[in-house]
Structure 1
């Protein structure tokens, strides 16, 4: 198809540009949130009792580290990305994939053969298992699927695979490997092999281009969460976008998933000693179950 290459190139350039822009915005925000080189000088006035009301009020100067300077503020209690790998979350997400894939397989099976290129008659005649063995043995091959399936839906699926791991606290390489595993073992040589021979381009495009798409999704999600889950000042658009770019983690969070234990340690002033003209500092430890 003559339009295939221009559309593909434009698609990749757009995704790359979005990723670079999101990274620059993220760096700019991080630079703005960095601690100042020196703490500001704060002045407080010591409170006095009624007996000392006739005495002059003496200001006391000292350096005070504010609570916002010493702790990480987590909007709506959501820390994104997670600070550590959450294998439980990834396990739940993968389990949801199984159910969703069964539904997707049914939808694809119901679509016309002109779209999917599935040989339904052979599947009915010899059984699904027989067809799976034949397809696995014959593959992989260069398929002739519609370009929308190869260059739009597969990169998107790879991006969703990638985001599933990325939003569970895994780094870029680990998320790419998860995307490659799911697209290769779970889909191409798994579910889809029951209907057609594994595809060469799908084995490459889904995890590789999908990971580029997924990293763009990752920065987009960070931006949306930072803006109170809003897109264009709309929470409806925000939740819809979150679901499109990271459906399984968004569903999991909507079901109330949380880490078993969350801790926070902060340093803050808890009083003032007028005798020595110094603030009294204390450690605040908070744990949620």
Structure 2
């Protein structure tokens, strides 16, 4: 099977034009098929404030009322996505900017109200991603760049977590490609000591993950990230890599890049 990289970038790349420039250059240099996934919460918050719309976050998760949905649709699918696509074209990547509604690529279900009403937020399941249509696009020579928006199939756009979209894409396409899911963030990877960038843990498998959790080396915010990563691996993804965006070029040079999670 051909390899396919599904790479998710966070706000630390998107919010800084220099970081974004270098990342997209390195992304273009990567051999083979690729998909890019991005959010853009910080810029959405700034523009909401300028428009007099208050951002409401609970445990870091955005409550998406109708006004907020309008803003995130404009910012994610418009401002950020098209800027990324234009930059990728500049470097020679024939990118196509997408939401989940385009081509019916990613269909979500509006999150049911339990204790909190998250509003127009979409949840994904194993049937959400249209792998055949996305594969057709990739084989036609396009590089998809997905923003963090999906749809419900009934005309409603939904705000959806970009990490979750990246994972769902990698799992769904693992039947046709050898998928490697890469999360780029501000640290070099999973660190033994959060304050020491040189304390990188290069490889984690399920057994060593249990030990790292028991020893409290991996805890709090990293737990859901890694739990989801191992779920993706159990569902067919070859490996998940967590690393720093400005070190992506190391992958191309066969050097150690980030922390690699595998079976």
Same fold (TM over 0.5): no
TM-score category by the smaller chain?
under 0.3
**Superposition TM-score, scaled by structure 2 size:** 0.22
Bigger helix share: 1
Bigger strand share: 2
**Superposition TM-score, scaled by structure 1 size:** 0.21
